[in-house]
Amino acid sequence: MTELVRLEVEDGIGTIRLDRPPMNALCAQLGRELGALLPEITERSDISAVIVHGGEKVFAAGADIKEMADLDLAGMTTYGRLLQDFTNGLAALPKPTIAAITGYALGGGFELALCCDFRIAGATAKVGFPEITLGVIPGMGGTQRAARLIGPSRAKEIVFSGRFIGAEEALAMGLVNQVVPEDEDVYAAARAWAQRYVGGPAMAYAAAKQVIDRGVEVDLATGLEIERMAFASLFATDDQKIGMAAFVAKEKPTFTGR
């Protein structure tokens, strides 16, 4: 069976490459392959951060409409669970993740990008949710992640309209974190962003990610308790001892990731 997703690891950075020409449409096979990589990425100590990249021309232009067009309610219930399983898995990956967006990240492709912690886009990139023009809505977490990222009103505007959003507007709205002037430099910019986390305190990154992601879903008091417990748990790690000892000694810490 043709591989539609590849994992490449270099200098502490893992790259998940989508490879389903011409537009990287997200099909069931691609979802299963991507989901199957996530446990390996979680366990590998030589991967400190992860980039999701679709290539120099397109990130992912959406879900595979042909694959789902004739599904009934029962069929889509099963299919939709698959779509959310691999996107939720990516979102829960306990390592910093960056989407390197070139060309189009639309529909399911944009939902995949929203599962990442950060998004870097080329100047000509377009993002959005065109599902409404097909008589449906985003079904891979887009309504929920967009609303949490930019607020319900703005999320409704982009979902209801189905319009394509340019990179600079996406940056202003908070949908992406950085815009790169030249599209061919997007992946390099994503690697530079990921490099920040190589050799860092992996357990602390994982804890911070979990606390922030869980915290936005609960009330403040519960969020503070989640933070308190996670903060305390890090005092069982080697990196806490290394980091604080280095601070006291006025030295640069050399973390072990444990």
Inter-residue contact 97 to 52 (CB < 8 Å): yes
Structure tokens at 71: 């599904």
Rounded-to-integer distance, Cα 145 and Cα 133, Å? 20
From the candidates 111, 157, 168, 227, which is the catalytic residue? 111
Question: Is 131 designated active site?
Answer: yes
Question: Is 111 designated active site?
Answer: yes
Spell out the residues 6+ positions from residue 79 whose beta carbon is closer than 8 angstroms to its own.
28, 67, 68, 71
- In Å, how far are 116, 125, 202 from 189, measured between CA atoms? 15, 15, 21
Run of H or E residues at 18: strand 13-18
Inter-residue contact 193 to 178 (CB < 8 Å): yes
Q: What are phi and psi of 126, to 5 degrees?
A: -130, 135
From the candidates 56, 131, 169, 251, which is the catalytic residue? 131
Rounded-to-integer distance, Cα 116 and Cα 112, Å? 7
Which of the residues are catalytic? 111, 131
